[in-house]
Amino acid sequence: MEFKTTKPLILASASPRRKELLSLLGVPFEVKTVEIDEEDIFGCSPAELVCNIAMEKGLAVAEYNQHAIVISADTMVFLDDEALGKPKNAEMAKLYLRRLSGRTHTVITGVSIYFEGICNVFFEETKVTFYKLTDEWINSYVASGDCYDKAGAYGIQTAGTLMVEHINGDYNNVVGLPIAEVYRELMNLELLEMKSAGVQYDN
Protein backbone atom coordinates (compact mmCIF):
# COMPACT_ATOMS: atom_id res chain seq x y z
CA MET A 1 0.00 0.00 0.00
CA GLU A 2 1.23 3.45 -0.92
CA PHE A 3 -0.24 6.81 0.05
CA LYS A 4 0.23 10.43 -0.92
CA THR A 5 -0.82 13.67 0.72
CA THR A 6 -2.73 16.38 -1.12
CA LYS A 7 -0.37 19.04 0.25
CA PRO A 8 3.19 19.07 1.60
CA LEU A 9 3.30 17.45 5.04
CA ILE A 10 5.06 18.95 8.06
CA LEU A 11 5.56 17.35 11.48
CA ALA A 12 5.72 20.06 14.14
CA SER A 13 7.64 17.90 16.59
CA ALA A 14 11.30 17.15 17.18
CA SER A 15 10.47 13.79 18.81
CA PRO A 16 12.33 10.96 17.07
CA ARG A 17 9.55 8.61 18.18
CA ARG A 18 6.84 10.65 16.46
CA LYS A 19 9.01 10.98 13.37
CA GLU A 20 9.40 7.20 13.22
CA LEU A 21 5.66 6.60 13.66
CA LEU A 22 4.64 9.18 11.03
CA SER A 23 7.11 7.53 8.64
CA LEU A 24 4.84 4.46 8.68
CA LEU A 25 2.52 6.31 6.29
CA GLY A 26 5.29 6.14 3.70
CA VAL A 27 4.85 9.75 2.61
CA PRO A 28 7.58 12.41 2.62
CA PHE A 29 7.44 15.09 5.31
CA GLU A 30 9.54 17.84 6.84
CA VAL A 31 10.14 18.48 10.52
CA LYS A 32 9.72 22.06 11.67
CA THR A 33 9.38 23.19 15.26
CA VAL A 34 8.90 26.40 17.24
CA GLU A 35 9.51 26.52 20.98
CA ILE A 36 6.45 27.39 23.07
CA ASP A 37 5.99 27.89 26.80
CA GLU A 38 3.80 24.96 27.85
CA GLU A 39 3.61 26.26 31.43
CA ASP A 40 1.25 29.05 30.30
CA ILE A 41 -1.23 26.64 28.69
CA PHE A 42 -4.21 25.36 30.66
CA GLY A 43 -7.21 23.09 30.20
CA CYS A 44 -10.34 22.22 32.15
CA SER A 45 -9.56 18.51 31.83
CA PRO A 46 -6.48 16.37 31.09
CA ALA A 47 -7.66 15.81 27.49
CA GLU A 48 -8.31 19.51 26.94
CA LEU A 49 -4.87 20.37 28.32
CA VAL A 50 -2.96 18.07 25.94
CA CYS A 51 -5.10 19.18 23.00
CA ASN A 52 -4.45 22.84 23.80
CA ILE A 53 -0.70 22.22 23.96
CA ALA A 54 -0.80 20.28 20.69
CA MET A 55 -2.70 23.11 19.02
CA GLU A 56 -0.23 25.73 20.24
CA LYS A 57 2.69 23.68 18.95
CA GLY A 58 1.05 23.31 15.56
CA LEU A 59 -0.18 26.88 15.28
CA ALA A 60 3.33 28.26 15.75
CA VAL A 61 4.42 26.31 12.66
CA ALA A 62 1.20 26.50 10.61
CA GLU A 63 1.17 30.31 10.66
CA TYR A 64 4.27 30.32 8.46
CA ASN A 65 3.34 27.27 6.37
CA GLN A 66 -0.18 27.95 5.11
CA HIS A 67 0.47 25.83 2.02
CA ALA A 68 1.03 22.65 4.02
CA ILE A 69 -0.57 20.10 6.31
CA VAL A 70 0.93 20.59 9.77
CA ILE A 71 0.65 17.80 12.35
CA SER A 72 1.55 18.41 15.97
CA ALA A 73 1.07 16.36 19.12
CA ASP A 74 1.55 16.35 22.85
CA THR A 75 1.63 13.31 25.11
CA MET A 76 1.15 13.40 28.87
CA VAL A 77 0.86 10.87 31.67
CA PHE A 78 -1.89 11.37 34.24
CA LEU A 79 -2.27 9.67 37.59
CA ASP A 80 -5.55 10.54 39.33
CA ASP A 81 -5.89 13.43 36.84
CA GLU A 82 -2.53 14.85 37.93
CA ALA A 83 -0.04 15.38 35.13
CA LEU A 84 3.33 13.66 35.49
CA GLY A 85 5.54 15.44 32.98
CA LYS A 86 9.14 14.96 31.97
CA PRO A 87 11.27 14.66 35.11
CA LYS A 88 13.71 17.49 35.70
CA ASN A 89 16.12 15.36 37.71
CA ALA A 90 16.73 11.86 39.06
CA GLU A 91 14.84 12.42 42.29
CA MET A 92 11.74 13.56 40.43
CA ALA A 93 11.98 10.53 38.13
CA LYS A 94 12.20 8.18 41.11
CA LEU A 95 9.21 9.87 42.74
CA TYR A 96 7.12 9.44 39.58
CA LEU A 97 8.00 5.77 39.25
CA ARG A 98 7.23 5.08 42.91
CA ARG A 99 3.82 6.65 42.42
CA LEU A 100 3.15 4.68 39.24
CA SER A 101 4.29 1.40 40.82
CA GLY A 102 1.51 -1.19 40.95
CA ARG A 103 -1.09 1.23 39.65
CA THR A 104 -2.95 2.09 36.47
CA HIS A 105 -2.38 5.48 34.86
CA THR A 106 -3.68 7.19 31.75
CA VAL A 107 -1.60 8.31 28.78
CA ILE A 108 -3.28 10.94 26.62
CA THR A 109 -1.99 12.26 23.31
CA GLY A 110 -3.58 15.31 21.76
CA VAL A 111 -3.10 15.69 18.00
CA SER A 112 -3.80 18.75 15.86
CA ILE A 113 -3.92 18.84 12.06
CA TYR A 114 -3.72 22.30 10.47
CA PHE A 115 -4.61 22.84 6.82
CA GLU A 116 -6.08 25.71 4.81
CA GLY A 117 -6.60 27.81 7.94
CA ILE A 118 -8.51 24.98 9.64
CA CYS A 119 -7.50 23.12 12.80
CA ASN A 120 -8.75 19.60 13.35
CA VAL A 121 -7.94 18.27 16.81
CA PHE A 122 -8.53 14.95 18.57
CA PHE A 123 -7.08 12.93 21.43
CA GLU A 124 -6.41 9.30 22.24
CA GLU A 125 -6.33 7.67 25.68
CA THR A 126 -4.54 4.51 26.76
CA LYS A 127 -4.63 2.90 30.20
CA VAL A 128 -1.26 1.53 31.36
CA THR A 129 -0.82 -0.69 34.42
CA PHE A 130 2.59 -1.11 36.04
CA TYR A 131 3.89 -4.07 37.99
CA LYS A 132 4.91 -3.38 41.56
CA LEU A 133 8.41 -1.89 41.30
CA THR A 134 11.21 -2.38 43.79
CA ASP A 135 13.47 0.47 44.84
CA GLU A 136 16.38 -1.45 43.32
CA TRP A 137 14.63 -1.54 39.93
CA ILE A 138 13.63 2.14 40.10
CA ASN A 139 17.15 3.24 41.02
CA SER A 140 18.69 1.14 38.27
CA TYR A 141 16.25 2.35 35.63
CA VAL A 142 16.74 6.00 36.52
CA ALA A 143 20.52 5.52 36.52
CA SER A 144 20.28 4.22 32.95
CA GLY A 145 19.02 7.63 31.84
CA ASP A 146 16.06 6.18 29.93
CA CYS A 147 13.63 8.09 32.16
CA TYR A 148 14.58 11.54 30.90
CA ASP A 149 12.74 13.48 28.19
CA LYS A 150 9.75 11.17 28.62
CA ALA A 151 6.42 11.96 30.23
CA GLY A 152 5.95 9.97 33.43
CA ALA A 153 9.68 9.16 33.51
CA TYR A 154 9.51 6.04 31.35
CA GLY A 155 9.60 4.93 27.74
CA ILE A 156 7.34 2.04 26.78
CA GLN A 157 9.30 1.47 23.58
CA THR A 158 12.58 1.02 25.50
CA ALA A 159 13.51 -0.68 28.78
CA GLY A 160 10.51 0.95 30.43
CA THR A 161 8.32 -1.70 28.82
CA LEU A 162 9.61 -4.16 31.44
CA MET A 163 7.56 -2.27 34.04
CA VAL A 164 4.30 -2.65 32.13
CA GLU A 165 1.93 -5.41 33.25
CA HIS A 166 -0.66 -4.61 30.57
CA ILE A 167 -2.18 -1.80 28.52
CA ASN A 168 -5.72 -1.08 27.44
CA GLY A 169 -5.72 0.94 24.24
CA ASP A 170 -3.35 2.05 21.52
CA TYR A 171 0.30 1.15 22.18
CA ASN A 172 1.57 3.78 19.72
CA ASN A 173 -0.37 6.40 21.64
CA VAL A 174 1.87 5.70 24.64
CA VAL A 175 4.96 5.96 22.42
CA GLY A 176 3.81 9.43 21.35
CA LEU A 177 1.55 9.35 18.29
CA PRO A 178 -1.62 7.30 17.67
CA ILE A 179 -0.68 6.79 14.04
CA ALA A 180 -3.68 4.60 13.13
CA GLU A 181 -6.07 7.37 14.18
CA VAL A 182 -3.90 10.01 12.48
CA TYR A 183 -4.19 7.98 9.27
CA ARG A 184 -7.97 7.79 9.58
CA GLU A 185 -8.29 11.52 10.31
CA LEU A 186 -6.17 12.41 7.29
CA MET A 187 -8.25 10.13 5.10
CA ASN A 188 -11.55 11.53 6.42
CA LEU A 189 -10.30 15.08 5.82
CA GLU A 190 -9.30 14.05 2.28
CA LEU A 191 -5.71 15.09 2.96
CA LEU A 192 -4.35 11.61 2.35
CA GLU A 193 -5.20 9.27 -0.47
CA MET A 194 -4.08 5.90 -1.69
CA LYS A 195 -1.92 5.82 -4.77
CA SER A 196 -3.53 3.98 -7.65
CA ALA A 197 -1.93 0.60 -8.19
CA GLY A 198 -0.85 -0.07 -11.75
CA VAL A 199 -3.01 -2.58 -13.60
CA GLN A 200 -1.11 -5.67 -14.66
CA TYR A 201 -2.12 -7.74 -17.66
CA ASP A 202 -1.24 -11.32 -18.40
CA ASN A 203 0.66 -11.88 -21.64
Q: Checking phi first, is residue 149 left (phi over 0); if not, alpha (psi -120 to 50) or beta?
A: left
Distance, in Å, from the CA atom of 32 to the CA atom of 55, rounded to the nearest integer, reads 14
Is 202 noted as a catalytic residue in this protein?
no
Distance, in Å, from the CA atom of 188 to the CA atom of 190, rounded to the nearest integer, reads 5
Q: How far is CA 8 from CA 69, 192, 195, in A?
A: 6, 11, 16
CB 87 within 8 A of CB 107: no
Annotated active-site residue in 37, 40, 74, 202: 74
Distance, in Å, from the CA atom of 109 to the CA atom of 26, rounded to the nearest integer, reads 22
DSSP category for residue 96? H
Q: Is the dihedral of CA 34, 42, 94, 129 positive or negative?
A: negative
Distance, in Å, from the CA atom of 70 to the CA atom of 7, rounded to the nearest integer, reads 10
Q: What is the number of alpha carbons within 13 Å of residue 73 lying toward its C-beta?
A: 32
Q: Which residues are catalytic?
A: 74
